[in-house]
Structure 1
Amino acid sequence: MLKQNLQLKLSQKLSPQQIQLMKLIQLPTLAFEQRLKEELVENPALESGKEDNVEADEFGEQDDFDDYDNERIDTDEINIDEYLSDDETPDYKLQTNNYSDDDDDKFSPIVAQISFHQDLINQLNTFMLNDEDRVIAEFLVGSIDDMGYIRRSIQDIVDDMAFTQGIYTDEEKVTDILLNIIHELEPSGVGARDLQECLLLQLRHKTPSDAVELATDIIENQFDAFTKKHYEKLLQKYGVSQDQLRKAIDEIEKLNPKPGGAFAGNSKAVEHVIPDFTIKINDGELELSLNGRNAPELHVSKDYQEMLETYKASADKSNAQKDAVQFIKQKLDGAKWFIDAIKQRQETLFVTMSAIIQYQQEYFLDGDETKLKPMILKDIADMVGLDISTISRVANSKYVETPYGTKLIKEFFSEAMINDQGEEVSTIEIKKILQNIIADEDKQKPYPDDRLAELLKEKGYPIARRTVAKYREQLDIPVARMRKKI
């Protein structure tokens, strides 16, 4: 049986403008600049720079956006033929003698880099190889990953060459070329099938010495004991002194476990961190500034505003002209909204960071991380009267340059714990003390997690062993066994 019910429901939906504003707030400086460039390209009614004969305020736009048309546009009185052109290039630009030196494209020299794999192929040219061996060698080079390893089995490589290259060979032939050709290429260790082989290849290219010979024997025959840092077992096995074993381990620690990653031409593009804020200390007072690249100078195009004024004086009428007017009005509205959104973004960033500075003033004055107070998103949201999600968008993607280095803002947020005196302390403070304890420990007998918990309790921080383990992992500090040194 079908039933119909009438139900009233109150819901809240975000407008497209609100969604766009939240996305703008979330963007760091570099991404914001890219978004700005896209908007300038997409909206011809939006222009950058100061508008002629108009005083710009501190945010780079007019105090009054020249309310270009608050009235209803009479589309029956519009003639835009004189404003529309089939050619967007002005005539003077088509005359070669009108170009000045300033119009010339300026190119910066670009370094032509050779890829990691191309460098290996170039090295193969120094070997005397017949056609079949060269094809196999090049196929092996193509099987090397960016870290310098061959992760596939020799049998898989043999089968793949048969199916894709029509080269029918056997494992013995491929292994021979791998060991005698590929393993001779630079950097040392390239073409290894696992970490153990990679380290052995590098050791065999080193100048012979007692330490190198011992290191080679350890990697070749006692690799498991070495990785687990069973130094007592190694001392007993080889009958050497601690000093001799230490020198051998030093030789191993100098090796590169990722030989391909060290190749300069293999470097990937790295996004540089651009601080969104800068904090300076002037006469004991904190000064906050927003990166100027977040405050572009924008204005609404005068040409587009003049079009609308001209439409009213026109006697021609057509549907095409009405559509064009709606298009221009939409672009003008979009430009005005975008300028408003940029200003609101700047204000939101500034008031949020100002509140964080006020909350963590003691830390920002001397840089001692143990003075960071417990602070959650709600604390700042209550101070500035914004939603927690807005504070989160600011904190998760923005950086601040301080006298103590450039920091990700979310690093200043932490949960609270109660010490033995009943006071609230930041988990950041506990992590810093834990880090200091581990840094000062005897590396021959590093503290296990239960001992670290006892030491923290002695300092007034009663936390469980599993919590210590969690903080240690968050600090990227290995377990006691892996911190051991001889």
Structure 2
Amino acid sequence: MLYQNITQKQQLKIHPQQLQMLHLFHLNTIELEQRIQNELEDNPLIEQNTDPDLATSKNDKEDIQDYQDWDEFAYDDSPSYHAKYSQQEQMPEKPIVESIDFRTEALTQLSWLQLPVDEAELAEFIIHSLNEEGFLEGNAETVADDYSMKRLKIVDAVMVDKVIKLVQSFEPVGLAATSIQECLAIQLKRMDTKRPDVKYAIRFMEEFYQDLKARNFNRIMDVLNIDEEDIKIILDLLGTLKLKPVPKGDSTPVQYDTIIPDFIVTQEDETLHVSLYKEKASSLKISNSWKAKVKNMEKGQGTGDQATSKYLSNKLNAAEWFVNAIKQRESTMLKVMKAIVKVQFDYFNTGDELQIKPMILKNIADMVGVDISTVSRITCNKYVQTPSGNVLIKNLFNEGIANQEGVAVSVRKVQETIQQVIQEEDKTSPYSDQQIAELLARKGFKIARRTVAKYRDELRIPAAQMRWNTIHHRSAAA
């Protein structure tokens, strides 16, 4: 028998060109240049104007120079100031230490493995996504979203989680950990897991981490059936571990990549000006000769078969869309950045991070009149050059909390206060999260203990017991 069923469902369909537009918003300056270069190679109808500022003028070549080459310098018998510089000083024999970035080491270890192409590309992406301390910011789902958007390849979170665990097996130990808890657990699992203290320490990290942070030792002792002496042995073991995969002052020197900003904010008197680091829309154009040829072929006046005419017509449409998309990208980016500067004027004017005001993506989206996803793509993985240095734009977004006067205060200012309180504490008797919450309340920030613990974890500051244990271990080692 035949049955008819009525079903109702919702589907979100994105036009391919809209997806490509979001992808263009997501690209930073270097990635955009590569994208434009690929389009120039693929589409003959797009042309790029030569930047006159980069071209060497003929007059520059005709400038008078002291010496054109080595032969002229060597056989010049006229006495001059250069004679005292002609003698070569003896070079030092001490070899120069080669600096190796931990990412370079990880990529080298990756090259030793025989992985499928898709897993190798994903692992390389994860390694380049690590911050300067070796942590992976975000979980498998966020990494999957970033990878899918940047590479235009759909990848699921299960595969990302598998590759993350693979990278975590590299050196230095703890690499690609997403938190201090995971960093400590990775180090413990590299030890002899048959040792009782290591076994219990792993359970501390996996099952009782929150109790450890809250110093709820009684519950841990009841569940694991251990005594205070065992607790002390385990805490001493945890004190020997490093809290970060690549701690500051590590023996391995770290090379920092040169940051190429996407925006430039300059200050003139009391006015802030926003501009793009490199404008590409003005240098791109459609070839007039090819455009005329395509139009003639569409009218049947040119030479060529129907397939050629259709191919060139599609290329013309793609070229026109791409050039207009670059113009729209740059126009929208400037609007978004100007709105951010307007909200964070005090920060850009002074360079003081405590002046950063509460700001979320929706605030900027409403000011510019675009979707929140557009603002998210534009501000993701992009830097702005300010008079105080390069700033990651996403760091300017933060939620706020109300102080005793009811004024919204940025989370960054609260975190800065927490960090200052911990720095000024007695190292032999560190403050607990509850004590920090009470001290913050006296300063006008009334937040819960669990909120203090959250912000402290974001600052990658360990709990009070771990801070005390680290100091105790260092003192004992000394």
Bin the TM-score by the shorter chain.
0.5 to 0.7
Inter-partner Cα distance in structure 2 for 1:274 and 1:374: 26
Deviation of the 1:314 alpha carbon: 7.1
| Pair 381,316 (structure 1): closer, same or farther in 2 beyond 3 Å | closer
Structure 2 matches for 1:43-54, cutoff 5 A?
A: 43-49=43-49
**Residue number in structure 2 paired with 1:475:** 459
Calculate the TM-score normalised by the size of structure 2: 0.55
Q: Give the partner amino acid of 1:278.
A: I
Deviation of the 1:257 alpha carbon: 9.1
Identity, % of aligned positions: 39
8 Å CA contact 1:228–1:481 kept in 2: the answer is: no
Inter-partner Cα distance in structure 2 for 1:116 and 1:411: 28
Kindly provide the CA deviation profile for residues 273-299 of structure 1, in whole angstroms up to 9, marking residues without a partner as x: 321112122212212121115556111
Inter-partner Cα distance in structure 1 for 2:420 and 2:20: 44
Kindly provide the CA deviation profile for residues 375-397 of structure 1, in whole angstroms up to 9, marking residues without a partner as x: 11111111110111111111222
Out of 144, 147, 163, the residue aligned to residue 171 of structure 2 is 147
**Residue number in structure 2 paired with 1:297:** 283
Calculate the TM-score normalised by the size of structure 1: 0.54
Out of 398, 410, 415, the residue aligned to residue 426 of structure 1 is 410
1:38 paired with 2:38, answer: yes
| Pair 334,368 (structure 1): closer, same or farther in 2 beyond 3 Å | same
- The higher radius of gyration belongs to 1
Deviation of the 1:424 alpha carbon: 1.8
Deviation of the 1:441 alpha carbon: 2.1
Inter-partner Cα distance in structure 1 for 2:299 and 2:449: 81
Inter-partner Cα distance in structure 2 for 1:257 and 1:30: 26
Q: Secondary structure at the match of 2:447?
A: coil
**Residue number in structure 2 paired with 1:108:** none
Q: Give the partner amino acid of 1:328.
A: L
| Pair 148,386 (structure 1): closer, same or farther in 2 beyond 3 Å | closer
Inter-partner Cα distance in structure 1 for 2:344 and 2:246: 41
Q: Give the partner amino acid of 1:281.
A: Q
Q: Give the partner amino acid of 2:171.
A: M
**Residue number in structure 1 paired with 2:22:** 22
Deviation of the 1:323 alpha carbon: 1.2
Q: Which runs of at least 4 in structure 1 moved beyond 4 Å after TM superposition?
A: 3-12, 112-117, 222-230, 261-264, 293-296, 312-317
Inter-partner Cα distance in structure 2 for 1:381 and 1:312: 42
| Pair 315,448 (structure 1): closer, same or farther in 2 beyond 3 Å | closer
Q: Secondary structure at the match of 2:305?
A: helix
Q: Give the partner amino acid of 1:34.
A: Q
Out of 403, 422, 431, the residue aligned to residue 387 of structure 2 is 403
Structure 2 matches for 1:58-77, cutoff 5 A?
A: none
Q: Give the partner amino acid of 1:290.
A: L
8 Å CA contact 2:264–2:277 kept in 1: the answer is: yes
**Residue number in structure 2 paired with 1:453:** 437
Relative contact order: is structure 1 or structure 2 higher (C-alpha 8 Å, sep ≥ 6)? 1
8 Å CA contact 2:296–2:302 kept in 1: the answer is: no
Out of 307, 332, 336, the residue aligned to residue 293 of structure 2 is 307
Inter-partner Cα distance in structure 2 for 1:194 and 1:330: 61
Kindly provide the CA deviation profile for residues 121-177 of structure 1, in whole angstroms up to 9, marking residues without a partner as x: xxxxxxxxxxxxxxxxxxxxxxxx85378xxxxxxxxxxxxxxxxxxxxxxxxxxxx
Inter-partner Cα distance in structure 1 for 2:301 and 2:442: 89
Q: Secondary structure at the match of 2:363?
A: helix
Cα RMSD for the two superposed structures: 4.0
Q: Secondary structure at the match of 1:455?
A: helix
Out of 464, 472, 475, the residue aligned to residue 448 of structure 2 is 464
Deviation of the 1:227 alpha carbon: 4.2
Q: Give the partner amino acid of 1:147.
A: E
**Residue number in structure 1 paired with 2:142:** none
8 Å CA contact 1:279–1:289 kept in 2: the answer is: yes
Inter-partner Cα distance in structure 1 for 2:371 and 2:17: 17
Deviation of the 1:371 alpha carbon: 2.1
8 Å CA contact 1:401–1:407 kept in 2: the answer is: yes
Deviation of the 1:5 alpha carbon: 7.0
Q: Give the partner amino acid of 2:355.
A: K
Inter-partner Cα distance in structure 1 for 2:437 and 2:7: 57
Deviation of the 1:308 alpha carbon: 2.9
Deviation of the 1:229 alpha carbon: 4.9
1:339 paired with 2:323, answer: yes
Count of residue correspondences: 303
**Residue number in structure 1 paired with 2:269:** 283
Stretch deviating more after TM superposition (409-418 or 466-475): 409-418
Kindly provide the CA deviation profile for residues 176-224 of structure 1, in whole angstroms up to 9, marking residues without a partner as x: xxxxxxxxxxxxxxxxx859xxxxxxxxxxxxxxxxxxxxxxxxxx996
Deviation of the 1:335 alpha carbon: 0.9
Inter-partner Cα distance in structure 2 for 1:194 and 1:9: 52
**Residue number in structure 2 paired with 1:384:** 368
| Pair 335,441 (structure 1): closer, same or farther in 2 beyond 3 Å | same
**Residue number in structure 1 paired with 2:145:** none
Inter-partner Cα distance in structure 1 for 2:299 and 2:239: 88
**Residue number in structure 1 paired with 2:341:** 357
Q: Secondary structure at the match of 1:287?
A: strand
Kindly provide the CA deviation profile for residues 218-243 of structure 1, in whole angstroms up to 9, marking residues without a partner as x: xxxx996654559xxxxxxxxxxxxx
Deviation of the 1:3 alpha carbon: 4.2
Deviation of the 1:2 alpha carbon: 2.9
Q: Secondary structure at the match of 1:292?
A: coil
Inter-partner Cα distance in structure 2 for 1:42 and 1:391: 29
| Pair 312,394 (structure 1): closer, same or farther in 2 beyond 3 Å | closer
